[in-house]
Structure 1
Amino acid sequence: MRPGGNRGWLLRLVIAFACTQGAVSMARPAVSYRALALGADERAIGVIAGAFALLPLFAAVPLGRRTDHGRCAPLLPAGVVLIVAGCALSGTAATAAAMAAWSGVMGLGHLCFVIGGQSIVARQSAPHEQDRNFGHFTVGVSLGQLIGPVAAGALIGGHDRAGGSSLALLVAGAVAAVSFTSLWRIETRTTPEFPAARGERPPVHRILRARGVPAGIFVSAAVLSATDILTAYLPVVGEHRGIAPAVIGVLLSLRAAATVACRLVMTPMLRMLGRNTLLTVTCLLGGVLCAGIALPVPVGVLAAMLVLLGFCLGVGQPLSMTTVVQAAPEGARSTALALRLTGNRLGQVAAPAAAGLVAGVAGVAAPFVMLGALLLLSSGIAVKSPAEPERVRDRPRPPRVLLRRKSDT
């Protein structure tokens, strides 16, 4: 089957991703509330949150290597099983150490699903379809981020935080399990199209040296760090400015809804501006908006800023996927995507630590200035990334055929 020949697989993949991402977005705040109810302090909460990203740091590249040399689809149900187990067992855990362990299992499951899903999109999409299909693929992320926290808040609310958080984690596991219904015949292409099928393994250092791969990794990590810190620190800013938690929840939902809207109109924006220009402009504008959150603006202005910021942040993830895929050497697409995810996880570990240090020194709004600077730097890197993939040069050239002139015969 030619890449892009069947749209059904992409829709089913988006639905499955929305379920798994929604489950994880429900589970992560629920884990924190349950740990607090069990008597964990702030440092323990940080360790539990970090465990979600720590295990994938070591597993991403081996999983990417395995996917480059085989089918992608088996990673999807494996990831769902790990997410369901991590959610359910976190809901019944009695100690902070056990919750950290099961949070790591959940993170590993999320990694498996994301690597498998991204690799399927890369393998089954024609080059000119990759920007659009990766954009649609990440709609599932945004839908999960939009619905998951709201559902978790509704289930956890009340005086019994331990019971409510446990219920939220069990429901999250059930939501993840729903994704099984969309995983049938998800991988329609069974024959690998690249030299990985013949056993060739480009080394990791060669992948990282390919022009465009480091830029895609950096932009992706910067955008994800901005999203994570925004979610973590906007409630803190709200407390200091007297903004009610319910209003903060609405503001975060507006940000997520704007990200969904951005990814739905990715194709016309790409036609108008092109990938590099779109990445550069949105990172630049996102950096200015992020830094602007540090200003004591009215709630209405803050809402407008967050809508624009959510729209800008919606561009970075799907376009960085295409940048990495098209810049990577042949036979290493999944490994390159795994390296990108490794960069994301490093950002998820390092950014909260840096934000905490900055907030402790300069105040709770200072992390947004730091993120603004990071996004401005990523806009400068994005503008220098290649417009065309360099891996074309790595393809074996067809043999030259010398045609005789009729006068030579």
Structure 2
Amino acid sequence: MAATNGPGRGWLLRLVIAFAFAQGAVSMARPAVSYRALSLGADERAIGVIAGVYALLPLFAAVPLGRRTDHGRCAPLLPLGVALISGGCALSGLAGSLPEMAAWSGVMGLGHLCFVIGAQSIVARQSAPAEQDRNFGHFTIGAALGQLIGPIAAGCVISGRDGAMDRTSALALLVAAAVAAVSFASLRRIEHRAPARPAGPSARKVPVGSILRTRGVPAGIFISLAVLSATDILTAYLPVVGEHRGIAPATVGLLLSLRAAATIACRLVMTPMLRILGRTALLTTTCLLAALLCAGIALPLPVWALAVLLAVLGFCLGVGQPLSMTTVVRAAPAGSRSTALALRLTGNRLGQVAAPASAGLIAGFAGTAAPFVMLGALLLGAAGLGARGEGPRTAR
């Protein structure tokens, strides 16, 4: 899909704003779901299962949605995604059992997937090759802003005093539903209307196997999976770690938001870092440092040291997502960018199913800090793939 020359970059700003509210709602809801599940009697393993169900429906829906987007409009997925996120948050707040919590968490995850596939495809379609790193970096600032504000908001609303955890976590989920709905206001005139393309070789469906065998695509998928798994398990399990170490929910929210603020800082300076270090060195170095820092969370650190560790970790994790998007888009065969991005998201969701479930199992046997050692191993693998480079670019 060739980039579309549209009037300025106002569409990207509107997309970033919408993404910030949608992601803010999800980032507020994820720890709220964990706290509400704890108030309903969940243990570490049940938290892992609920976190995994968030990714289960998207695991099966990503590729069909990507196929549709490759040969149609992207924008309709955005309001659909916002509606599902808002509904999933609200119904999670009203749920009275752990199976209900898991089901509505899955609806929330499906909504997030719809929004992200539509939004990433718009960025890929409307960005010239030289602008992709910058535009994907700016696009993911929206996600980082949501991840910054969401946990703080959750921490301000949720309280464990005097048995108020059940009531306040439900309230946080209802507030998250309202935050998601604000995204609708920024969804106007984001996708440029392009003329219909004639049928040709690029209009044919490229088999999924061929896309996955294209050099650069598997590496981009795994790096994205590892980075997102780290962010996801941090969001879901830092509250559990906080409960075991006596850290208040408000402090946990601040710690998660500090991580997100560092990610925003990273993406604001992405272009000069790429110019100085290059893509391969930047990916490899940040994944390697993130692996060591994730494993460090398992240590019984004081809160101030944990804050420093999470800030540096957040900066390192800020590189993987935008660069993996560009890696996959550049490597994908012609006419299959959205499907390749959807496969990347399928890998993400597979990680979000397997990683929390594995984390829950590991935490049940080895303690709540053990899943962070597992994340360190994942990121170490991502650093190895990053060191190999993305291979030759596909001619466009």
What is the TM-score normalised by the length of structure 1?
Answer: 0.88
In structure 2, the gaps of 5 or more residues are none
- CA offsets per residue over residues 118-150 of structure 1, 9 Å max, x none? 000000000111111111111111111111122
2:329 aligned with 1:329: no
Mapping for residues 328-367 of structure 1, pairs under 5 Å? 328-367=332-371
Contact 2:137–2:322 (8 Å) recurs in 1: yes
With 80-89 and 196-205 compared, the bigger mean Cα shift is at 196-205
Identify the residue that residue 204 of structure 2 maps to in structure 1: 200
Match of 1:69 in 2: 71
Contact 1:258 1:310 in 2 (8 A): yes
**Residue 398 of structure 1: aligned partner:** none
**Structure 1 residue 231 displacement after superposition:** 3.0
- How much does 1:240 deviate? 5.1
> Percent identity at matched positions?
75
Q: Check the 8 A contact 1:194/1:331 in 2, yes or no.
A: no
Corresponding residue of 2:234: 230
Instruction: Tell me the equivalent position of 2:104.
Output: 102
Match of 2:119 among 117, 120, 123: 117
Give 1:388 deviation, angstroms. Answer: 3.9
Say which SS state the counterpart of residue 341 (structure 1) adopts. helix
- Residue 43 of structure 1 and its aligned partner are, at CA, apart by 5.1
Structure 1 position 166 matched with structure 2 position 166: no
User: Compared with structure 1, are the counterparts of its residues 52 and 195 closer, same or farther at alpha carbon in structure 2 (3 Å cutoff)?
Assistant: farther
Q: What's the offset of the Cα at 1:363?
A: 4.0
Amino acid across the alignment from 2:371 = P
> Secondary structure of the equivalent of 1:286?
helix
Q: CA deviation at 1:243?
A: 4.7
Conserved 8 A contact 2:45-2:361: no
Selected match of 2:14 from 12, 15, 37: 12
Q: In the aligned structure 2, how far is the partner of 1:322 from the partner of 1:160?
A: 45
Aligned residue identity for 1:142: A
CA distance 1:187–1:375, change in 2 (3 Å)? same
| Structure-to-structure mapping, 1:6-405, within 5 angstroms | 6-38=8-40, 44-157=46-159, 159-191=163-195, 199-238=203-242, 241=245, 243-386=247-390, 388-389=392-393, 391-392=394-395
Note the C-alpha offset of 1:245. 4.6
Q: Distance in 1 between matches of 2:194 and 2:32?
A: 39
Which one is further off, 228-237 or 207-216? Answer: 228-237
Q: Match for 1:377: what amino acid?
A: G
Tell me if the contact between 2:48 and 2:358 (Cα under 8 Å) persists in the aligned partners. no
Aligned-partner Cα distance in 1 for 2:167–2:16: 31
Cα drift, residue 13 of structure 1: 0.3
Aligned partners of 1:167 and 1:299: how far apart in 2?
27
Between 1:256-265 and 1:245-254, the stretch displaced more is 245-254
The whole-number CA distance in structure 2 between the counterparts of 1:134 and 1:122 is: 8
Change (3 A) 1:346 1:153: same
Greater C-alpha radius of gyration? 1
Instruction: Give the conservation status (yes or no) of the 8 Å contact 1:276–1:387.
Output: no
**CA spacing shift, 1:166–1:196, aligned 2, 3 Å:** farther
Aligned-partner SS, 2:188: coil
- Checking the alignment, whether the CA contact within 8 Å between 2:226 and 2:351 is kept in structure 1 is yes
Matching residue's letter, 1:131: D
Tell whether the 8 Å contact from 1:142 to 1:256 is kept in structure 2 after alignment: yes
Q: Tell me if structure 1 keeps the 8 A contact 2:70–2:339.
A: yes
Give the Å deviation of 1:192: 6.7
Change (3 A) 1:306 1:95: closer
Distance (whole Å) between structure 1 residues aligned to residue 301 and residue 42 of structure 2: 35
Structure 1, residues 197-229: CA drift from partner, whole Å, max 9, x if none? Answer: 963110000000000000000000111111222
Could you say if the C-alpha distance between residues 365 and 52 of structure 1 is closer, same or farther in structure 2, counting changes exceeding 3 Å?
A: closer
Amino acid in structure 2 at the alignment position of 1:342? T
Instruction: Name the structure, 1 or 2, with higher relative contact order (CA <8 Å, separation 6+).
Output: 2
The answer as to whether partners of 2:266 and 2:319 remain within 8 angstroms in 1 is yes
CA distance in 2, matches of 1:176, 1:196: 39
Q: Give the whole-Å Cα distance in 2 for the aligned partners of 1:95 and 1:240.
A: 23
* Aligned amino acid, residue 146 of structure 1: L
Q: Deviations over 1:170-215 (max 9, x none)?
A: 2212111111111111002424779789631100000000000000
Q: Distance in 2 between matches of 1:12 and 1:197?
A: 33
**Contact 1:135/1:318, CA 8 A, preserved across alignment:** yes
Q: Distance in 2 between matches of 1:271 and 1:192?
A: 37
Cα–Cα, structure 1 residues 52 and 140, in superposed 2: closer, same or farther, change >3 Å? same
Q: Once superposed, what is the RMSD of the aligned Cα atoms? A: 2.4
Could you say what secondary structure the match of 2:32 adopts?
helix
Q: 1:300-345 CA deviation, whole Å, 9 max, x = no partner?
A: 3332222111100000001000000100001110000100111111
Cα distance in structure 2, aligned partners of 1:192 and 1:273: 40
Instruction: Check whether the contact 2:21–2:182 (CA below 8 A) recurs between aligned residues.
Output: yes
Count the aligned residue pairs.
392
